[in-house]
Amino acid sequence: MPDLDQQLEFGIFPTPDARRIPDLLSLVALAEVEGLDVVSVQDHPYQDGFLDTWTLLSVLGARTTTIRLAPNVASLPLRPPVVLAKAAATLDLLTDGRVELGLGAGAFWDAIVAAGGPRRTPGEAVDALAEAVELIRAFWAGGTLRFEGEHYTARGLHAGPAPAHDIPIWLGAYKPRMLRLTGRLADGWVPSMGYADPPALPAARRARRRGGAGGGAPARRRAPDLQRLRVVRDRERLPPGPPAGLGRAARGADPGRRHELLRPRDRRPGRGAPLRRRGRPGDP
């Protein structure tokens, strides 16, 4: 890995399987005890075997005290930006600033339509995502909100509450236009191994940097400072069994369904840094 002036963080990406709730809760509790940084959960409201992501994140937030929480990534066509912004801000307040927000433009359009959502072309989906990022950040800023977009509007909305901290927005992106949008608007890029394997990463990085260089990157970061989050599926790339350090309790967590999230964390203060130190007593 090149030196990007960032240190690695580790997290888990557990499957929100409605049949394995005790295993899921135990795995997240164990991840926090072992000092992992983040738990993120996929969002597929049309999947009949999955728990609802925001409800699950709320439960996890109530059962933990240090690990950060994120949808990875929220299905934007089925979660209106204003409602999503309020949900994220509310959970952030309830968890003392532990929320991060992953957004996706949408996939599995037949399932989205079956659930009452819109069917969008690739271009429409990217445009809607750009509008949503702007609208969500405007909501978090508070005040009377007026927004007129092609896909989303807000007309005199009294926005609030404000979140406990400046919630980072991650985007799941693979194609050139989405990558440029990520460089321009997002705080983090979150690809999954299998969709963006190592040989594709240099070109993706160049596309993101072109987007950031074009202006519009969040004021709290420079374009090169974009966080890179990577979902590694252990059944594809990692050795079988629980990762080192997770101990015997992880063996009941179904390693074939357990995923891990790796990302670099910026060393500079105020950029994606946790509100308080995580880890076990005696850690450096």
How does DSSP assign 7-62, residue by residue? EEEEEE----BTT-HHHHHHHHHHHHHTT--EEEE---TT-TTB--HHHHHHHHHH
pLDDT of res. 4 = 54
Say how far apart CA 280 and CA 35 lie, in whole Å. 6
Closest CA relative to residue 115, chosen from 190, 50, 40? 50
The domain ranges of the chain are: 6-266
Q: Which of 61-75, 173-187, 213-227 has the lowest mean pLDDT?
A: 213-227
Contact 37, 67 (CB under 8 A): yes
- C-alpha 251: how far from its chain's center? 26
Cα angle at 264 between 80 and 58, to 5 degrees?
Answer: 40
pLDDT of res. 199 = 55
Q: Is residue 88's pLDDT more than 60?
A: yes
β-pairing, 153-159 with 143-148?
Answer: antiparallel
* Dihedral pair phi/psi, residue 100, rounded to 5°: -130, 150
pLDDT of res. 226 = 59
In the chain, % helix, strand, coil (3-state, to 5) comes to 35, 20, 45
DSSP assignment string, 140-203: HH-EEEEEE-SS-EEEEEEE-PPPSS---EEE---SHHHHHHHHHH-SEE--BTTTS-GGGHHH
Which comes out higher in pLDDT, residue 154 or 249? 154
- C-alpha 49: how far from its chain's center? 21
Contact 29, 247 (CB under 8 A): no
pLDDT tens digit string along 159-189? 999 999 999 999 987 678 888 888 889 998 8
Q: pLDDT band for 43, please (50, 70, 90 cuts).
A: very high
pTM of the model: 0.77
CATH topology of domain 6-266: TIM Barrel (3.20.20)
Closest CA relative to residue 80, chosen from 153, 170, 4? 153
pLDDT tens digit string along 222-257? 444 556 555 555 444 433 443 333 333 333 333 333
Average pLDDT value over all residues in the chain:
78
Q: Residue 196 corresponds to which tokens in the numbers above?
A: 């963006």
Q: Is residue 269's pLDDT more than 60?
A: no
Contact 181, 129 (CB under 8 A): yes
